[in-house]
Amino acid sequence: MKTQVYIIVVITSLTACKFNSSQKALPILGERHAATKTVNGQAVTDTVYSTIPAFKFVNQYGDTITDKSLNNKIYVADFFFTTCPTICPVMHRNMLPVYNEFKNTADFRIISHTIDPAHDSVPVLKKYADKLEIAGNTWWFLQGKKDDTYHISKSYLVSVQEMNPKGQYIHDGYLILIDKQKRIRGTYEGTDAAEVTKMIADIKTLEAEPDQVNAK
Amino acid sequence: MKVKILLCILLALGVLIISCQNDESIEFKRYYTSGSLVYQSHCQNCHGSQGEGLKGLIPPLSDTSFMRSNLTRLPCIIKNGLKGKIEIDHRSFEGEMAKIDLNPMELAQVITYVNNSFGNQLGMTGYEEVITDLNTCR
């Protein structure tokens, strides 16, 4: 009898440890493949995760922003347009707590890509940021060639489409969390305040991961 | 036994009170409740669950004096959208509100809801009033 109790206790504590450790790291999302390389004359197989490719856009201050501007940054990306009457206001209302939580964190950024660059010029984006009371360099509103924006959206696993017959753009409201190695670590429904609260917690978890703390 | 009688009396009183509510207040509640659903599906994304708006981008709906002075314009504003500069809550807003495709009944319901939420107490806007107001749309 006593032995059984011991066994149960041991099993329970083991699973408890496993549970805890899985809580301390976020999953790595997106496509992956196994790559074999030669290290010290021996073949080593490793998992290679998909990363956000190189890009070049302009922010609300007219500064050029590339993938290099986000080197060694944890960042959140989304897609919107300033005249969006549906999900954008609620997405960015929900993003404000994220901005306020991390605006003094040097290695954190938010990037919002406009999918309507014809209307959303740099001054329009600046005005939008001002009205949202966004200052400094924590939250960039990015503008660029439409094709580039639509192309990069695929890397973030976000769906963006041209205008529908009613003249509205279709895009989904996901917020994508990217780590310092430019890998996708979380996707959150930006129109759901509870999901965004979870994202804030996940960003803190991510910041504490050894890979992120030691990133050069 | 005494308790039972007391309960019966209370119940009878309750029924009396409820049935004594005048038709107008029942109508108001019906408008208000339906209006809250219309609000959630057509207005809340932009104007917020508390009618708070969004910073300098989207005006709040809690400026009672604006609501009162534009009472008869509200059906047209919602139905045809709004463009240009407006002064709300001592702040200036500009931009564009999209047309919201609601029928007159839904307009009456949502206006009744907004005008009696978020600190507003402006009473009911009925279906007939909306029909009249819609005739004045530019």
CB contacts, 8 Å: B44 with chain A: 90
Is A100 touching B (CB cutoff 8 A)?
Answer: no
B3 within domain boundaries: no
B80 within domain boundaries: yes
pLDDT given for residue A14 in this prediction: 57
Domains of chain A: 52-213 (3.40.30.10)
Mean pLDDT of B63-67: 96
B92 within domain boundaries: yes
Compute the distance between CA of residue B138 and CA of residue B131 in angstroms, rounded to an integer.
14
Contact at CB, A93 and B48, closer than 8 angstroms: yes
B45 within domain boundaries: yes
- Token look-up 């919201």 returns B100
Mean pLDDT of A108-120: 95
Is A166 touching B (CB cutoff 8 A)?
Answer: no
Mean pLDDT of A27-46: 84
Q: List Cβ neighbours of A60 (8 Å cut-off, separation of 6 or more).
A: A122, A125, A126, A128, A129, A140, A141
Number of structural domains, chain B?
Answer: 1
Structural domain boundaries, residue B93? 23-134
> Tokens in use for A18?
């496993």
Kind of pairing, strands A174-178 and A184-189?
Answer: antiparallel
Note the pLDDT tens digit of each residue in A120-160. Answer: 999 999 999 999 999 999 999 999 999 999 889 888 877 66
Q: Is the pLDDT of residue A1 over 80?
A: no
Instruction: Name the nearest CA neighbour of A172 among A115, A100, A117.
Output: A115
B5 within domain boundaries: no
B7 within domain boundaries: no
Contact at CB, A89 and B98, closer than 8 angstroms: no
How many angstroms separate the Cα of A88 from the Cα of each of A71, A157, B46, B130, B132?
Answer: 27, 18, 8, 30, 34
Does ipTM exceed 0.90? Answer: no
B111 within domain boundaries: yes
pLDDT confidence band for B71 (50 / 70 / 90): very high
Note the pLDDT tens digit of each residue in A76-95. Answer: 999 999 988 778 888 999 99
Mean pLDDT of A199-213: 95
CATH of the domain at B130: 1.10.760.10
